[in-house]
Structure 1
């Protein structure tokens, strides 16, 4: 029998969501590699599966991937699980798959639970596209860079966040996108599942109050709507205000209206006719 690496998704909270194909793979594999053997061990025990477990978290994959590939090429069937959901989606697994692909070792990825898609559909967002950014950055500079990169993207924005940081993150998002709606999806598929949808400023206020009071628990996915008409209008007005100040500066330097308009259009992304009107007003 030829070997292969089998990527096995697991439930994100409800054992009833365990895929049958993943159960079959875990039962028939020669060994199960796991992000955390304690977590996966409990999962296997819940379904009556007895299998040898080996720890293979993100920190270990770099040094052990080559050995796993060699074992697959030698005929071993290795199943891989992260703690919950689809391995490789903000979880260990991608580098292991890449190592197998580069070596020509067979890989089978089984479809199954993922918090990203579940939250996207549950959020109430109607944009047909989404961008998944993984866990929201912790440092202010990284946060700004991440949001600037997707500010004009016509898609919902999805981030994972911890309950201890979600209030602070919502405050950052509310300041960056004050006119957008979003959803906080908490404890998806679990008994206390909750989806709270509102404007970002309202969500920031709500979860700041929770953090200061009873606290916030559970895994959290944030889904932020894409750009809307109100946001576009506000951005246009802001650009025009800045362009008026710049036009006065350029006129003071002796530039002609035609040249001022050309500069404004280039610097502020304004339509030529709007830029020329502003140049005339300066």
Structure 2
């Protein structure tokens, strides 16, 4: 009879954040698959847990994943842990989940800390709808393509970033999205936890004299209705005034009201706009 794979969420900083269920699972499984065995060993030693450890990370996930699946099929139970937080989110655990499903192996998540949720909640930016993007591509082309696809995203956008790449990422976000609100969350649940709530331009200025330290959760405000309306009006200004008026008339707006609307959007006197409506029946 096949064993079971448990994806165990571990603390993102403060070791007291681990759950009783997570500890019980770590104590009961036959072995533990870890993204970084040295990091996981610190956690296990803290709670006096002694279990065989095997490495499962981005560079060996195919070979190691097959070995793990083979042992589970033979009846072994395994706990998969990442360096910090919930396995399967922006780490190779996603691959093991797929392998387990393909082989009809029982799979359970032992929920717990997730840095993206922590950062979102404390950001002060809307939590009602959000999208998680993880790490942006490092190559220039892929990076631009990803951000281009997010230009019209109205939901709050969450990224992860390493300290040595933070400044470049802030500059790229500013050039693509303008001066939106942002929250920079670092060292979460640790002694030197810091939440910086500002705009992108303020964040860039801040790090002119401050070295980024720790792993970051970046929470970026989505495109606002006001921003979309401004873009729409700017686009309309590029079309001839008579076509602009006609566009609203076709929508069922009376000619007189259409003239007022166009005048307001183009910041022109109504009398000026009226001249362009004379040939419109």
What band does the TM-score fall into relative to the shorter chain?
0.7 to 0.9
- What pairs up with 1:42-57 in 2 under 5 angstroms? 42-57=42-57
Query: Is it true that 1:78 corresponds to 2:106 in the alignment?
Result: no
Give 2:253's aligned residue: none
Q: CA deviation at 1:261?
A: 7.0
What stretches of structure 1 move > 3 A for 4+ residues in a row?
Answer: 257-262, 276-281
Give 1:9's aligned residue: 9
Q: CA deviation at 1:104?
A: 0.4
CA distance in 1, matches of 2:246, 2:193: 54
Please tell me whether the aligned partners of residues 177 and 200 of structure 1 are also in contact (alpha carbons under 8 angstroms).
no
Deviates more, 1:215-224 or 1:166-175: 166-175
Query: Aligned with 1:45: secondary structure?
Result: helix
Query: Is it true that 1:181 corresponds to 2:181 in the alignment?
Result: yes
CA distance in 1, matches of 2:244, 2:230: 26
Query: Is it true that 1:69 corresponds to 2:69 in the alignment?
Result: yes
Please tell me whether the aligned partners of residues 8 and 87 of structure 1 are also in contact (alpha carbons under 8 angstroms).
yes
Unaligned runs of 5+ in 2: 251-257, 267-272
Q: CA deviation at 1:196?
A: 0.7
| Cα deviation code 1:16-53 (max 9, x no counterpart) | 11121111111111011111111111110011011111
Query: Is it true that 1:225 corresponds to 2:224 in the alignment?
Result: no
Please tell me whether the aligned partners of residues 180 and 231 of structure 1 are also in contact (alpha carbons under 8 angstroms).
no
- What pairs up with 1:271-282 in 2 under 5 angstroms? 280=276
Q: Could you tell me the TM-score, scaled by structure 1's length?
A: 0.83
- What pairs up with 1:21-60 in 2 under 5 angstroms? 21-60=21-60
Query: Aligned with 2:99: secondary structure?
Result: helix
Query: Aligned with 2:159: secondary structure?
Result: strand
- Paired residues, what number? 256
CA distance in 1, matches of 2:116, 2:230: 30
CA distance in 2, matches of 1:127, 1:23: 30
Q: CA distance change for structure 1 residues 208 and 229 in 2, over 3 Å: closer, same or farther?
A: farther
- What pairs up with 1:125-144 in 2 under 5 angstroms? 125-144=125-144
Deviates more, 1:55-64 or 1:116-125: 55-64
CA distance in 1, matches of 2:65, 2:106: 14
Q: CA distance change for structure 1 residues 64 and 146 in 2, over 3 Å: closer, same or farther?
A: same
- What pairs up with 1:110-121 in 2 under 5 angstroms? 110-121=110-121
Give 1:208's aligned residue: 208
CA distance in 1, matches of 2:48, 2:127: 42
Q: CA distance change for structure 1 residues 177 and 170 in 2, over 3 Å: closer, same or farther?
A: same
Query: Aligned with 1:120: secondary structure?
Result: helix
Please tell me whether the aligned partners of residues 154 and 224 of structure 2 are also in contact (alpha carbons under 8 angstroms).
no
Query: Aligned with 2:54: secondary structure?
Result: strand
Query: Is it true that 1:123 corresponds to 2:119 in the alignment?
Result: no
Of 221, 230, 234, 1:234 maps to 230
Deviates more, 1:174-183 or 1:153-162: 174-183
* Structure having the higher Rg: 2
Query: Aligned with 2:63: secondary structure?
Result: helix
CA distance in 2, matches of 1:115, 1:127: 14
Q: CA distance change for structure 1 residues 209 and 136 in 2, over 3 Å: closer, same or farther?
A: farther
Please tell me whether the aligned partners of residues 6 and 79 of structure 1 are also in contact (alpha carbons under 8 angstroms).
yes
